[in-house]
Structure 1
């Protein structure tokens, strides 16, 4: 049985070290034909970084790494110079540090290609870098951007910092339009599509494939992929828990399935599935990897009924008008993975989306943290209380049920 690639986002390492790889290269081959400028939004821990790494290897012409995978003999392999901008590796605590970190990064890329840059500003230096790499290699340049919005999202509770970082991004990405003659392919990933980040106003030829049907299953695991690639881990977990395969699959589906961008194809979050089979027990893996403190604060300060987040109907325009000055909670919950699309309704002039929690893991953990933010109860006491409430309801123990309710609500300020 191959090793589980928990936390590994480098394609070459997964292949050479014989980790399990779910072959997404048929969809990637289609992606290569989908346009020159592409953008994809998905929640954290959904495989965006691995996709960027895979694209980097493809455009670098490393065909040998793909032996046995769909794409191996399906495309014309050619090597291009590739610039990967990973905002997980760039400092951005303030706009000055952000600019300096970007300038340093661009210089390092220039050193790799043994070229010198004279420009002192981010926009000018990035353009100069692309132009000189293209001239030296006699090849157009591929630019891959991972987590483009991280310098904004990580400061979303500080509008001033987020806005200043947004301006730096605008300067950087404006080059992707002006440098078109030197570019072969541009691909960006992120959690959100901020409407006022000028990358999208200036890059008016970028195609947003977030909701595109052909790429609905590009990231995440389908039911078929789960049962095909994880057959042995499933058998092992059946033995560990002492249950039948059909019952285990039903439980896995309840806990971790349900993410969708077209209301048809349901997907598992890779991080939760990998950890489930590694730890051999059901738990809140994805949710626990990033507590939504800011979200809780935003919800608490809003006029929304925090118990009414299910079956919310929103217009598609909501996702295109996402901006840091006026955050919509439902857009934010969807973009960050706490809500997903369960139904799409075609109206006369627009599409409407019905949003719900994707699965039990997210709903249980989110409601628990939400309740904690509205009360002064310790987080560790809320989940056991919820289990007791469920038990009292099932046994029709009204007195026990009401005692817990009174105790919990007594701590609401």
Structure 2
């Protein structure tokens, strides 16, 4: 069998189909879009979920200039075997609003205008049109003038594709809230741009498909563009982007040679990258497509898993999200973050459209985390949904956020070299003295006032984050076994082979309660729990399993027991 190439970082449909890359067939969703009663659609997914590739798919499927290439591009796809009547019947007008300049209001206006002009010039070139393009006014004026100059025989046959419609807005939301509000306000130039696009639908624009990450601008945009349908949570579209588990299995089998293929690989990928559900009425959970392709690309080139589970491109995207904690109500948002990290789940009424002119509620913030891919649907309940952290990698991102938050609050710098040495001591020597010392140093940086309300969940978050920073272990928080939930578990993960695995039971006493007798009581309780847990089928077969009970009070670990 000739193995297919892994299309990591490639979002051009033609390149994938013509140059030997594997394509996970999403063409069946074209029929769903065509059957949707509203021809003007917004569809949201987190970053790196295949949005740009899907837009490229629509471009090649509907472009009238690609009619002669239809068989070559689509013959091996679902839609190629049963095409819709509208294939290759539109003039494609494509806008990409990623990487706009957002340093100031003027630079953003200039950037949007330039991107609009580039798209219109390309449209004219692609279809050999000689209509004039007036660039003297705003981007909205340019768009209005363009539609008024189109020849009448094109009426109703322009398909507008908009990729990353909200990229600039998410950037502004995280660092320049005033400019964000000004941009999307009633008089804002972005709203005017969409009003001009709406005028185009009265004559020439037959269909619109716009992708983005979050609905933070939809409330303002759709006030002047109230013809669009947001199908983000439509159950029929749950699998339109991202990979199902059968699709991941196909990827593994068709891209990896047999000598490095492992049957356990899909189970590993499920643990790291699966878990996303985008409709409360759907059932199939999805893998982040970019994360899967990153892992397989590294696995193929190194013949072993990547050292770091999170692609640096994704890490840089999510790194900006820490600034979102400052939106409107920082203390409220931090409280939500603490709730998510301590329990792994929350409930919320999902917000379909945000209005930043109104109060930004806890449900709004939880919903924003959902759209960003930091929370996903766990289950449905009357009027609300249960939300949870989707997978191991995202759990690590949360822990990094929170560690950064508390170290800044304590004015404490984390020494990454010391963290690596501490986790290596656990892995190679089966000892935890260095790890305990690091936790004590961080706790000592807090004032006595900060210990009010402090408990073991904060210690657990810090240990979890330190362990994930080292990349030596697959670290589990609240690890479920037949007899209960273990606070923390360090499990060996490839390509590393630590000499010891470890489980921790954590206890925290307020300083006024930390008597010798009480410390002894909670220690005995922890020992009993660990002995019970270690007999479970999930752990009984693990070799060299270290079991520790750690009791903290104030800024000290007042008792340690190697069980």
* Pairing of 1:342-353 with structure 2 (within 5 A): 342-345=378-381, 347=382, 350=383, 352-353=384-385
* Pairing of 1:64-75 with structure 2 (within 5 A): 64=71, 65-72=73-80, 73-75=82-84
- When structure 1 is superposed on structure 2, of 105-114 and 150-159 the one drifting more is 105-114
Are 1:362 and 2:379 counterparts? no
TM-score where L is the length of structure 2: 0.65
Aligned to 1:39, what secondary structure does the other structure show?
Answer: strand
Contact 1:155/1:162 (CA < 8 Å) preserved in 2?
yes
- Which residue does the alignment assign to 1:207? 229
CA offset digits 1:365-412 (Å, max 9, x no partner)? 3312421232133373597489579879xx8x7877643421232345
Aligned to 1:179, what secondary structure does the other structure show?
Answer: helix
CA deviation after TM superposition for structure 1 residue 252, in Å: 1.1
> How far apart, in 2, do the equivalents of 1:171 and 1:205 lie?
15
CA offset digits 1:51-97 (Å, max 9, x no partner)? 11111111204323212111113212333211111012544433333
- Larger-gyration structure (1/2): 2
Aligned to 1:408, what secondary structure does the other structure show?
Answer: helix
Aligned to 2:107, what secondary structure does the other structure show?
Answer: helix
TM-score where L is the length of structure 1: 0.86
Ranked by relative contact order (alpha carbons within 8 Å, sequence separation 6 or more), the top structure is: 1
> How far apart, in 1, do the equivalents of 2:233 and 2:165 lie?
18
Question: Compared with structure 1, are the counterparts of its residues 321 and 385 closer, same or farther at alpha carbon in structure 2 (3 Å cutoff)?
Answer: farther
Contact 1:81/1:133 (CA < 8 Å) preserved in 2?
no
* Pairing of 1:38-77 with structure 2 (within 5 A): 38-61=41-64, 62=66, 63-64=70-71, 65-72=73-80, 73-76=82-85, 77=87
Unaligned runs of 5+ in 1: none
Higher strand fraction (1 or 2): 2
Please give the root-mean-square deviation of Cα atoms over the aligned residues, in Å: 3.0
Q: 1:130 aligns with which of 122, 144, 147?
A: 147
- Which residue does the alignment assign to 1:86? 96
> How far apart, in 2, do the equivalents of 1:401 and 1:360 lie?
22
Q: 1:170 aligns with which of 177, 187, 191?
A: 191
CA offset digits 1:151-194 (Å, max 9, x no partner)? 21111121122223322210111123222222110111111112
CA offset digits 1:251-281 (Å, max 9, x no partner)? 1111110111125221111111011111111
Are 1:288 and 2:312 counterparts? no
Question: Compared with structure 1, are the counterparts of its residues 206 and 326 closer, same or farther at alpha carbon in structure 2 (3 Å cutoff)?
Answer: same
Question: Compared with structure 1, are the counterparts of its residues 379 and 205 closer, same or farther at alpha carbon in structure 2 (3 Å cutoff)?
Answer: farther
Number of equivalenced pairs? 400
- Which residue does the alignment assign to 1:277? 296
Aligned to 2:385, what secondary structure does the other structure show?
Answer: strand
Question: Compared with structure 1, are the counterparts of its residues 295 and 387 closer, same or farther at alpha carbon in structure 2 (3 Å cutoff)?
Answer: same
Aligned to 2:150, what secondary structure does the other structure show?
Answer: helix
Unaligned runs of 5+ in 2: 300-304, 448-563
Question: Compared with structure 1, are the counterparts of its residues 398 and 78 closer, same or farther at alpha carbon in structure 2 (3 Å cutoff)?
Answer: closer
> How far apart, in 2, do the equivalents of 1:268 and 1:170 lie?
34
- When structure 1 is superposed on structure 2, of 363-372 and 42-51 the one drifting more is 363-372
